[in-house]
Amino acid sequence: MLLTLRVPRSRLCLGRQQHRRLLASTAPEEAKRQTTQHPLQLEINGNTYPTDSWTNVTPKILSHLGLNKHLQRDHPLSIIRQRIVNYFYGAYRNQRGNPLFSVYDQLSPLVTVQQNFDNLLIPIDHVSRQKSDCYYVNREHLLRAHTTAHQVELISGGLDNFLVVGEVYRRDEIDSTHYPVFHQADAVRLVTKDKLFERNPGLELFEETWSGSLADPKRILPSSKCMDQTKQPCHTLEAVKLMEHEMKHVLVGLTKDLFGPRIKYRWVDTYFPFTQPSWELEIYFKDNWLEVLGCGIMRHEILQKAGVHQSIGYAFGVGLERLAMILFDIPDIRLFWSNDSGFLSQFSEEDLQNLPKYKPISHYPQCSNDLSFWLPANVEIDAGFSANDFYDLARTIAGDVVEQISLVDKFKHPKTGKTSLCFRIVYRHMERTLTQAEVNEIHKHIADASVEAFNVQIR
């Protein structure tokens, strides 16, 4: 779930009646308007934002703002949040025995491009910035793609140990583990030389040969220069090794706290633009290695941007849905948005330590329909047509009854040169059986709206 970024969800399982209304009411023209045309300005949380050619956020996606599933009493995501927060409260205490970490779990998800990318040294041409991957309000504002977006503002405000928890928004495929809105927790810990080398006075955080003024915080080094998995040029090896040791110790502690002391885990070297060196922690679960978090030693340029010159820091980010799906045995990411009492009543924060396994309320059947169309002449996938645009359109029309969409066939006509695509759409309602007639109607709406929105020709 990392920058290699990933995943999740919306307000679909609104409850039966609302859902029916939604199914019946989003006609193709309206869906097209919602996904491809925008008003001149958007009003979000009481602020007005002019739209522009970058705007791609839909009303459906915006409807997730403020739902705060991670704060909803007894919700599985809220339980996971509390487990992580409590672990950090226990792992780090000050001399008076009070928790060292502070928690920010209600920051607005509407952030600037500077917060989400520039401040974190994400190169200007990095894939994660693309319009096809994020929900942009306009060219300067987007719904955060990760909770890491708040690092610089919080450090600038004087914080040195903090957790940020909230929902993030990413355009992605649709399947049982991916939803366009999901939740993350991100943490930062900064330490000074005196603290880090308490027992080894005389050691230094920074190389003697490195002059702080040489690093121009405005100059973003190309990522190829930040791949050295040993350390950043400015840091001493001792400082990095001690931080790495502390970070890994704490994160393995968190993993064992969540999954039990016998969980099998491994560290995998990786790359993030904002940390160096960087790692992912994987756990062995149901015969597979599953990545659970990303972390690393924070790039010193980020601390400099935030006005901190004499500390070294580590940071990590973790996706909550993935943890919750494993810990509660929840099979489908859409369930986290369900308001169905049959789902919600199964969890309670009375006992945070003993997490119950989810019992499927019932299993309603799937319906699968294919949709094939010709793209307009000279248009190809990722050159004039983005599959994520199609997924958003389908979601806008059908809502959460779309369980999965996959591109099952693609070919180019030898004579006309036109590209044909076939998407398989799997429909399933979480709370009742869908009839084939009902599915056909929704499917037809998606087809009509695709013709409207992308100028395709249904086959």
Q: Which positions lie near ligand DAH, rule CB under 6 A?
A: 1-3, 5, 146, 148, 186, 272, 274-275, 294-296, 315-317
Q: Which is nearer to ligand DAH, 124 or 437 (CB)?
A: 124
Nearer to ligand DAH, 31 or 187 (CB): 187
Closer residue to ligand DAH, CB minimum distance, 295 or 456: 295
Q: How far is the CB of 394 from ligand DAH (least distance, A)?
A: 25
Least distance in angstroms from the C-beta of 402 to ligand DAH: 24
Please report how close the Cβ of residue 111 comes to ligand DAH at its closest, in angstroms: 13
| Nearer of residues 1 and 226 to ligand DAH, judged by Cβ | 1
CB of 7 to ligand DAH, least distance (A): 9
CB of 144 vs ligand DAH, minimal distance in Å: 10
Of 265 and 374, nearer to ligand DAH (C-beta) is: 265
Between 324 and 397, name the residue whose CB sits nearer to ligand DAH.
324
CB–CB of 22/395 below 8 Å? Answer: no
Q: Which DSSP string do the residues of 324-370 spell out, in sequence order?
A: HHHHHT---GGGGG---HHHHTT--TT-SSSPPPP--S--PPPEEEE
Could you tell me the two tokens for 185? 């927790």
Measured in degrees and rounded to the nearest 5, phi and psi for residue 8 equal -90, -90
User: Which pair of tokens denotes residue 174?
Assistant: 């649709």
Per-residue CA distances from 41 to 50, 141, 170 (Å): 4, 13, 22
Closer to ligand DAH by CB, 273 or 399: give it: 273
CA 423 centroid distance within chain: 24
Closest residue to ligand DAH, Cβ-based? Answer: 317
Tokens of 9: 């969800």
- Please give the Cα distance from 378 to 254 (Å, whole number): 51
Does a cis peptide bond (omega within 30 degrees of 0) precede residue 277?
yes
Tokens of 135: 């929900």
- Which residues lie below 8 Å from residue 7, measured CB to CB, with a gap of 6+? 1, 170, 172, 177, 178, 179, 180, 182, 319, 321, 333
**Cα separation, 64 vs 179, whole angstroms:** 12
Determine the 3-state secondary structure of 452 from DSSP: helix
Shortest distance, CB of residue 381 to ligand DAH, whole angstroms? 25
Tell me how far, at minimum, the Cβ of 148 lies from ligand DAH, in Å: 4
